[in-house]
Amino acid sequence: MKAIIIPVTPFEQNCSLIWCDKTMKGAVIDPGGDLDHIMEAAKNQGVEIEKILITHGHLDHAGGTKELKEKLNIPIEGPHKADKFWIDQLPEQCARYGFPESFSFTPERWLEDGDTVTVGEETLNVVHCPGHTPGHVVFVSMTEKVAIVGDVLFQGSIGRTDFPQGNHEDLLSSIRDKLWPLGDDIAFIPGHGNMSTFGQERQSNPFVADMNFG
Ligand SMILES: [Zn+2]
Ligand SMILES: [Zn+2]
């Protein structure tokens, strides 16, 4: 599997293009906007986009989903259904942040913890990680040791939990009880900022490190 990061929207959200290098079929994860950049990147890599995967319903992650779906006539998978209220509010989120017009959508498939999604011949595991939003999901390739974690975890930080239905305790538990057991050697692409590994964050992230920095 291969992956590249395409920063999109004024929030510099890390949209990911991932693909199976055997079939050259790929998925766009979190097309928040700037669809021309995303499609150009796919074209440059020779990737045929076969689906859209969504980590959560925030504007910078999901804002371009409906338009990309209609342009390419491809299905949407994710997030978990608990984020439906965020997706339904995409037009209002847009107006509030001064983004170009955005549309709500209904995924072909809502995802549950323990589901798998395919990209070409690759398989990713779905981990439901509520806290930042109630329906946030993370995609993990255990063969490639890479995770796409959206706004759950960042290098040196964690997602905000001051939104409606955000929950700080749920977020900590999602990270410690669901992500850490996948292994210290998992590299992750966060929704914003630089890549890191679970092991590095267990050591040095002040919010979720094993040692309490008090
Ligand atoms: Zn978010
Ligand atoms: Zn974000």
pLDDT of 79-135, one tens digit each?
999 999 999 999 998 888 888 888 999 999 999 999 999 999 999 999 999 999 999
Query: Which residues are bridge partners to 2 per DSSP?
Result: 19
Query: How much is the pLDDT for 98?
Result: 85
CA 36 to ligand 2 centroid distance, Å: 20
* CA distances from residue 188 to 14, 28, 157, 205 in whole angstroms, order as listed: 11, 16, 13, 14
Q: What percent of the chain has pLDDT over 70?
A: 99
Instruction: Round to whole Å and give the CA distance between 181 and 23.
Output: 31
Query: How much is the pLDDT for 211?
Result: 81
Pairing mode of beta strands 122-128, 157-158: unpaired
Tell me the residue type at 73. Answer: N
**H helix intervals, 52-159:** 59-62, 65-72, 84-88, 90-97
CA 56 to ligand 1 centroid distance, Å: 7
Ligand nearest to the CA of 60: 2
CA 183 to ligand 1 centroid distance, Å: 24
**H helix intervals, 23-178:** 35-45, 59-62, 65-72, 84-88, 90-97, 168-173
Query: How much is the pLDDT for 169?
Result: 97
Q: Could you say which DSSP state residue 150 is in?
A: E
CA 69 to ligand 1 centroid distance, Å: 21
pLDDT < 70: residue spans in the chain? 212-214
CA 184 to ligand 2 centroid distance, Å: 24
Using DSSP's 3-state secondary structure scheme, residue 37 falls into: helix
Query: How much is the pLDDT for 202?
Result: 97
CA 22 to ligand 2 centroid distance, Å: 31
Query: How much is the pLDDT for 97?
Result: 87
Query: How much is the pLDDT for 212?
Result: 66
